Structure 1
Amino acid sequence: MPTLHCVFQSSDPESPTFKASKLNAASRIPSLMDTELSDLALSRKPSNKHVPVTEDELDLPGYKEPSSQNCLGRTRAFLQRHPWLMGWNHEDWWPCWIGLFLFFLVSVSVHYSIEGAHFQPWTSNPFDSLHTRPNLGLIVLAPLQGLLVFLAVYATGAKNWREFYKGFMVIYALSFLSKWLASQKNIKSASIGDSIWAILFGTLLRNIMTGGSTPSTSGTTPGAAAQSRPLPGWLKVAQQTELYIAISLVLLCIDVAVLRPLAPRALFVSWVDTPTLFIFVAIMGSAWLRIDLQTAIIMSGATFICGSSAAIALSSSLAAGSKADLPIAIISVFTIPSIIALPYIAKAIGISAQVAGAWFGGCIDSTGAVIAAAAIYGDPGNVAVETSAVVKMVQNVLIGPISVGVAVAWTHREQRRRRAMRSSVPEELTERDTTIDNNDSSDAVRGRLSRTESSLSSLKPIPYRTLLWQRFPKFVLGFIMTAVLFNTVVPLKDRPKVNSFSFMVGEWFSTMSFVSIGLGLQFHELRREARMLLKLTTLYAAAQLVDILSTFGLAYVAFELF
């Protein structure tokens, strides 16, 4: 290691002082950077994309260019050499392809007067909810959704992709059961939606299949930490939480014609306080409640913007992995009191239907919950429903700019940390220590120095644009493209039906994502993370209270005074 000789007292490799100093530097640097490196490693989103064919590999004797007759082979090889042209083989882009393809099919179906499937409310006989002709479309929709997700799983090279169909059938069955139960009149009147049932069924299945925890095999120490039993591979491969929610977001159509009359006031209600409160609550959760910053940002965004969709978008921007699961579960459960209480409070204080609708749309998390609250309010002309839907639609648009802003800020933060950590390395190397550990051989020294080199190479700065593009949630582009196509290509008379049909298809993916979230929750892990659960619940309660009060003031000013 000639680059290290200059920083030690002796340049003689056999010198005891040289060995001791070299060993000390090698042992100190990894321990100094272990925490930071592990954070960086965990923050990186694992990629399942195929390794593209490089120019060097093309020159190898064993490589053969596909024949001119094999058009598919030539196309595949070309895309492998130039993966930036299309993201067909990367999980970040598949929500766009699936969402846009389904949007096209929905538009064609509406053109040919095909209606979307939906469960009718039922009282005592569950099969009453299926006695409608459009529900026959589920026979086509279910395998189509499974096929499209299978293509994404196959293209990204996911493990156990051959057994995907087994896991998807289970997840779809639980989603079907959740929607079926949620359509029961008494359950529906209590505002217990399909998301609650989906998380519950997924959690029960996970804990039944895995049977709790197993003792740690890393040692024989009594009371060693328990390890979670993993899901079977055939079910794990179908647990595509981010993919399902991202597809549902791409299918969320924004109708400019509906937004235009109320857009200025809806913007005032949705955009004035949301970014400020989002930043403030995220910082408060990190500084006051000692929640890690990524989870605090996800929790805050999910509370102030649009629930699970915002949580997944921010998780993608932060490369936070599964940190969105617990916030989504908390929001899904604790949204119910707001859905039930706010309409009665609005009636009690005597505010107008427009103010009430804007209030619901601005402070209740998900679109479905907003419509449910407005329906409970029940004004004769459905003014509250229309106003709440418009305000929520405008607020949903915030997903794009906020997720991009978070990606930019987090990328800057990571770059600063990398530069700071790398600049601190020479100072550690120049420290001298004359203590000799006679038990360490030269092989141990070389091993530790090798580890040091590996640590230093992992701190090599990544180009800013590259890192930002990796963090950018690609499905936001699909969301924007769907909105553009919806407002330019779809005929004006078909837009309400296309919007409703597309929302229905997206809700199926959303329900499957809630089942997947439930599959990631284990009772013994929740007990172990009870403190974190309490902190997140406290943060959500505080944020929701602030959101309710601030949104009420903005809604009153926008729709009552102007």
Structure 2
Amino acid sequence: MSSDSQDPDPYASPVDPDQATVSVPAERTSLWVDMRTGEDWWAIWCAGILLIVAFAAVWVGQPAELAGNLEAGETVEVVSPLKSFLAKPGSWTENPLDSLSGNGVGILGVFLTIAILFAGAMQIRGKSAIGFLKAFPIVFALAGLAYLLAGQSVVKAYNLEYALWALLVGLIISNTVGTPAFLRPAILTEFFIKTGLVLLGAEVLMSRLLALGLPGIFVAWVVTPVVLVSTYLFGQKVLKIPSKSLNMVVSADMSVCGVSAAIATAGACKAKKEELSLAIGMSLSFTVIMMVVMPAIIRATGMDPILGGAWLGGTIDSTGAVAAAGATLGDEALQVAATVKMIQNILIGVTAFCVAIYWVTYVERDANAPGVGVSEIWYRFPKFVLGFVAMSILFSVLYSTLAGGPELINAMIKGSTKTMRGWFFCLAFVSIGLETNFKQLLPQLKGGKPLILYICGQSLNLCLTLFMAWLMFKVVFAEAIAP
């Protein structure tokens, strides 16, 4: 995803995404300057601050004798002191105001936290903090409206999550009255989503990911790259999609883990915002369909819940949708589905890194120019992915080494960081909608090639994942994972 609207163009002249050449890079800023002003780095700093504060609150507020009680085999409930100060709109049936009951203070707390944190970041980065603070209340209100719509009982029963509503709210505004210019300083799509992804790193714990051992790794790490590469080659060689960046983003979105992978990959291949919006729109649409249809197929065919869960985890794009679909099949399927999906989530960083290397080495390389050095790969690599990996490692260590580590980390996630991550993603989806105009998207859909690419790639993904899940969970490691 291009960040030209927020940061200076790193090249002397823009890159044509349809040509395999790249302009000569301008003089690079020093690492220190980049760490002080770069959006990727500030996503790490902001998420890091939130995680430090969230964990410190749980650590200070933990029950006395937590370790001793756990050693004695007692069940101890750990609750984050921040839980009541960080919330989102709840469920409602007839009166929308019911969604605010007991959540008003928490919603205000989220608003103030993000406003203060991001205004400070904008000021230090040399951007307009005042402009951000003037526009942010409206963007936040639109995100709150998306949560409100998703919380209605009938809508909730159909699993129409906040991401879809946030995108629709933004799209309706941008394609009718138009997005007001004064909102632009707070439409920080990349900043929001990158900060949310670094927060997600604390939830992707290695100890949990390896709970199912090699079966889940084979399903997530073997099928995914095969599908990604096959889909990309299919788009280039068969469909002949003009934009390589659109081809890559759609392939990564569909094969890895939906929106998060699309964002990371878009940053690595400098995809346009319109291309990212198109990929996310298709992903969200098919996610809604798959999370309803796939559990029905699993039940109708009498498929084993372990096998069904692994199939869900390896194919449905959204982690939340995977959990929702798995829950309809029972706790066993939910556990397997969520674990496979989290193992697959590790590939976000790997995919972004490999795409960055491929893009600067082959796609944008001039045949008459010297080869691209390691420094260029580092410059183009999405730095926020480093934050994602670092948080995953750090909190995995805390989870496994601290006395009461699982209870403390779970309390931190459930009581604060998961809520904040949801708001960041919701704000990002609203921003994507506000930045997207269908008139700009129509040329990308010309001939229906992106849609054909997604359908063909997802079909391959469904078949290969089901086969690998059956082979690993029911044949090779059947005895090891038997309940």
Q: How is 1:490-529 mapped onto 2 (pairs within 5 angstroms)?
A: 491-500=405-414, 501-529=416-444
Aligned to 2:125: 156
C-alpha distance in 2 between matches for 1:401 and 1:45: 27
Q: How is 1:18-57 mapped onto 2 (pairs within 5 angstroms)?
A: none
C-alpha distance in 2 between matches for 1:156 and 1:321: 23
Match of 1:348 among 286, 294, 300: 300
C-alpha distance in 2 between matches for 1:44 and 1:105: 43
Match of 2:137 among 150, 160, 169: 169
Larger Rg: 1
The reply on whether 1:476 has 2:385 as its aligned counterpart is: yes
Quote how far apart the aligned CAs of 1:118 are: 4.4
Q: What is the CA deviation profile of residues 374-419 of structure 1, one whole-angstrom value per residue up to 9, with x for unaligned ones? A: 1233x2xx1122111111100000111121111111121157x324
- 105-114 or 542-551, larger mean C-alpha shift: 105-114
Q: Is the 8 A contact 2:445 2:451 kept in 1?
A: no
Q: What is the CA deviation profile of residues 242-263 of structure 1, one whole-angstrom value per residue up to 9, with x for unaligned ones? A: 2211111111122233223213
The reply on whether 1:256 has 2:256 as its aligned counterpart is: no
Aligned to 2:395: 486
Q: Is the 8 A contact 1:201 1:518 kept in 2?
A: yes
Q: Secondary structure at the match of 1:516?
A: helix
- For the structure 1 residues 40 and 233, does the alpha-carbon distance in structure 2 shift closer, same or farther, using more than 3 Å as the test? farther
C-alpha distance in 2 between matches for 1:343 and 1:314: 29
- For the structure 1 residues 35 and 137, does the alpha-carbon distance in structure 2 shift closer, same or farther, using more than 3 Å as the test? closer
Quote how far apart the aligned CAs of 1:205 are: 1.2
C-alpha distance in 2 between matches for 1:146 and 1:105: 16
- 493-502 or 291-300, larger mean C-alpha shift: 493-502
Letter in 2 for 1:475: F
Quote how far apart the aligned CAs of 1:167 are: 2.5
Match of 2:57 among 90, 109, 124: 109
The reply on whether 1:281 has 2:251 as its aligned counterpart is: no
Aligned to 2:358: 409
Structure 2 length-normalised TM: 0.82
The reply on whether 1:398 has 2:366 as its aligned counterpart is: no
Structure 2 unaligned blocks of 5 or more = 1-12, 62-79, 400-404, 479-483
Percent identical among aligned pairs is 31
Give aligned pairs, total: 432
Aligned to 1:308: 259
The reply on whether 1:145 has 2:114 as its aligned counterpart is: yes
C-alpha distance in 1 between matches for 2:230 and 2:247: 10
- For the structure 1 residues 478 and 351, does the alpha-carbon distance in structure 2 shift closer, same or farther, using more than 3 Å as the test? same
Q: Is the 8 A contact 1:250 1:482 kept in 2?
A: yes
The reply on whether 1:200 has 2:152 as its aligned counterpart is: no
Quote how far apart the aligned CAs of 1:348 are: 0.7
Q: Secondary structure at the match of 1:418?
A: coil
Aligned to 2:314: 362
C-alpha distance in 1 between matches for 2:442 and 2:466: 36
C-alpha distance in 2 between matches for 1:273 and 1:296: 19
- For the structure 1 residues 462 and 37, does the alpha-carbon distance in structure 2 shift closer, same or farther, using more than 3 Å as the test? farther
Letter in 1 for 2:153: K
The reply on whether 1:317 has 2:232 as its aligned counterpart is: no
Structure 1 length-normalised TM: 0.71
Q: Is the 8 A contact 1:343 1:376 kept in 2?
A: yes
Aligned to 1:246: 194
Q: Secondary structure at the match of 2:186?
A: coil
Aligned to 1:87: 35
Quote how far apart the aligned CAs of 1:517 are: 1.1
- For the structure 1 residues 190 and 408, does the alpha-carbon distance in structure 2 shift closer, same or farther, using more than 3 Å as the test? same
The reply on whether 1:545 has 2:454 as its aligned counterpart is: no
C-alpha distance in 1 between matches for 2:239 and 2:153: 40
C-alpha distance in 2 between matches for 1:144 and 1:402: 32
Q: Secondary structure at the match of 1:202?
A: helix
Letter in 2 for 1:519: L
Q: What is the CA deviation profile of residues 10-49 of structure 1, one whole-angstrom value per residue up to 9, with x for unaligned ones? A: xxxxxxxxxxxxxxxxxxxxxxxx99878679978999x9
Aligned to 1:426: none
Aligned to 1:299: 250
C-alpha distance in 1 between matches for 2:24 and 2:102: 43
Quote how far apart the aligned CAs of 1:505 are: 1.3
- For the structure 1 residues 258 and 171, does the alpha-carbon distance in structure 2 shift closer, same or farther, using more than 3 Å as the test? same
Letter in 2 for 1:237: P
Q: Is the 8 A contact 1:248 1:506 kept in 2?
A: yes
- For the structure 1 residues 319 and 170, does the alpha-carbon distance in structure 2 shift closer, same or farther, using more than 3 Å as the test? same
Aligned to 1:8: none
Aligned to 1:130: 100
Q: Is the 8 A contact 1:164 1:234 kept in 2?
A: no
Q: Is the 8 A contact 1:286 1:293 kept in 2?
A: yes
- For the structure 1 residues 241 and 263, does the alpha-carbon distance in structure 2 shift closer, same or farther, using more than 3 Å as the test? farther
C-alpha distance in 2 between matches for 1:550 and 1:38: 31
Q: Is the 8 A contact 2:135 2:184 kept in 1?
A: yes
Aligned to 2:184: 236
The reply on whether 1:535 has 2:444 as its aligned counterpart is: no
- For the structure 1 residues 549 and 42, does the alpha-carbon distance in structure 2 shift closer, same or farther, using more than 3 Å as the test? same
Aligned to 2:336: 387
Q: What is the CA deviation profile of residues 100-120 of structure 1, one whole-angstrom value per residue up to 9, with x for unaligned ones? A: 111112213333332252443
Quote how far apart the aligned CAs of 1:358 are: 1.2
Q: Secondary structure at the match of 1:120?
A: coil
- For the structure 1 residues 161 and 535, does the alpha-carbon distance in structure 2 shift closer, same or farther, using more than 3 Å as the test? farther
